[in-house]
Amino acid sequence: MRNSMLVRSVAAISSLAMLAALAACGDNTSSNNASSNTNSSDTTTEQVSGTFNGEGATSQESAVQAWISGYTQNNSGATVNYNGTGSGAGVKKFLTGAIQWAGSDAPLKDEEVEKSKAVCANDTTAFEVPVYISAIAIVYNINGVDKSKHIELDAATIAKIFDGKIKYWDDAAITGQGDNKSLNLPHKEITVVHRSDESGTTQDFTSYLQDAGGKDAWPYDPAKAWPNKVGMGANGTSVVATTVQQGDGTIGYIDASKAADFGTVAVKVGDAYVPYSAEATSKVVDASPFDDSAKAPRVVVKLDHQTTEAGAYPVALVSYMVVCPEYKKADDAKFVKSWLTYVTSEDGQQTAAENAGSAPMSDTLRSKVTTSIEAIKTK
């Protein structure tokens, strides 16, 4: 269009040439704005085609399904599948080379990074980038208790409940906190529901219990596997949610995207009790440092579970996608780079917020993530 305008300008009289030049200036301004808008949405114009598979964290599953819908609208030749089997299973599958990426609520272990050399090309190692930020909701179901009311608890009490040290809902350690007396909690046995599979959500939750509750209340090291024999196990986020919902006197922990129909715990932060929300979760993530031991292109957030920042909800998870910087197949690299670019874009993150209630990614975090994604080699 610009070239044809210049041709006409040469043939035109001088006054028309001046008008054409002015029009061209206006056209350049529009082009720059369009370029800026395209960059801000972080979408690629080159189409991707083929079948690509991911597996792992159930916490991000609702967001991933929404991302797949958005991504394939612009890449109609691509078929993208995600199997929510849990963080541990997803990383194990990725390390076999059977899938293009894994979803994980926990950063890679050093031995997993080393093992990834067998999967990634040219002796490179896998890295993870945050894609999904969410609260871990502590949910309960007690017949006769209004689920619209929060049970207010500090971290040590939560830890003791999940370790079986506090056994009844009317225990003074519970009723003596916040406004819990007004709930008229019954003398009913507490049934803990936890994940039975290896889960990054479990690792994040147990990290909170130890960091904020203290080792006296929670003596176990954070891990993907549930560490004690208290309560009952359930495989995956959805099954934990169903088990809590179908019980009476139950308590469990699930990604906030599944928590809308439950009574929830407001956790003590400083002198206040804070219920989960996307905004409260963003506060703790934004206040948390990066893990300097995870070298670029890895991007790992060290959540500050002991924060006293007003309005922050510290029982949070940062869920990652695990990928290679170089792939043995060019089509895989092209897809992963395009896929992650969309997922972490403003459009992608807004899609996750609308469909899964995730917390927004800060500009600082997105900038760091984008740098890592750009390092993926597609040729």
Neighbouring C-alpha atoms within 13 Å toward the C-beta of 106: 26
Dihedral of CA atoms 162, 252, 263, 352 in degrees, nearest 10, equals: 130
Cβ atoms < 10 Å from Cβ of 10: 8
Q: What is the rounded CA–CA span in Å between residue 235 and residue 360?
A: 28
Whether 361 contacts 165, CB under 8 Å: no
Q: How confident is the model at residue 22 (pLDDT cuts 50, 70, 90)?
A: very low
Query: DSSP characters for 201-238?
Result: HHHHHHHHHHHHH-TTT--SPP-SS--S--SEEESSHH
Q: What is the rounded CA–CA span in Å between residue 83 and residue 197?
A: 14
pLDDT of residue 45: 55
Whether 66 contacts 356, CB under 8 Å: yes
pTM for this structure? 0.84
Q: What is the rounded CA–CA span in Å between residue 66 and residue 53?
A: 15
Q: Indicate the SS3 state at residue 116.
A: helix
Q: What is the rounded CA–CA span in Å between residue 372 and residue 322?
A: 12
pLDDT of residue 207: 98
Q: Is residue 335 over pLDDT 70?
A: yes
Q: How confident is the model at residue 12 (pLDDT cuts 50, 70, 90)?
A: very low
Q: How confident is the model at residue 46 (pLDDT cuts 50, 70, 90)?
A: confident
Q: Is residue 4 over pLDDT 70?
A: no
In tens, the pLDDT along 223-250 reads 999 999 999 999 999 999 999 999 999 9
* DSSP bridge pairs for 133: 318, 359
**Three-class HEC string of 80-106:** EEEEECCHHHHHHHHCCCCCCEEEECC
pLDDT of residue 379: 84
CA Rg value for the chain = 25
Buried b (16+ CB within 10 A) or exposed e, 245-270: eebebbbbbbbbbbbeebbbbbbbbe
Question: Is the C-alpha dihedral spanning 242, 245, 250, 253 positive or negative?
Answer: positive
Q: What residue ranges in 89-210 does DSSP mark as E strands?
A: 101-104, 127-141, 151-153, 191-195
Please give the single-letter amino acid code of residue 103: G
Comparison of pLDDT for 19 and 372, the residue scoring more: 372
pLDDT of residue 35: 30
Cβ atoms < 10 Å from Cβ of 283: 21
Q: Please give the domain boundaries of the chain with CATH numbers for all domains.
A: 52-133+320-374 (3.40.190.10), 135-283 (3.40.190.10)
Separation in Å, CA 333 to CA 75, 100, 283, 343: 15, 9, 33, 15
pLDDT of residue 37: 33
Mean pLDDT of the chain, nearest integer: 90
Q: Indicate the SS3 state at residue 97.
A: coil
In tens, the pLDDT along 121-157 reads 999 999 999 999 999 999 999 999 999 999 999 999 9
Q: Is residue 78 over pLDDT 70?
A: yes
In terms of residues, how long is the chain?
A: 379
Comparison of pLDDT for 38 and 106, the residue scoring more: 106
Q: How many helices (H) and strands (E) does the chain have?
A: 13, 11
Q: What is the rounded CA–CA span in Å between residue 64 and residue 241?
A: 19
Q: Is residue 340 over pLDDT 50?
A: yes
Q: How far apart are the first and last CA of the chain?
A: 32
Q: Is residue 20 over pLDDT 50?
A: no
- Kindly state the tokens that stand for 61: 């599953």
Please give the single-letter amino acid code of residue 74: N
**Range with lowest mean pLDDT among 34-48, 85-99, 244-258:** 34-48
Whether 256 contacts 142, CB under 8 Å: no
Is the preceding omega at residue 222 within 30 degrees of 0, hence cis?
no
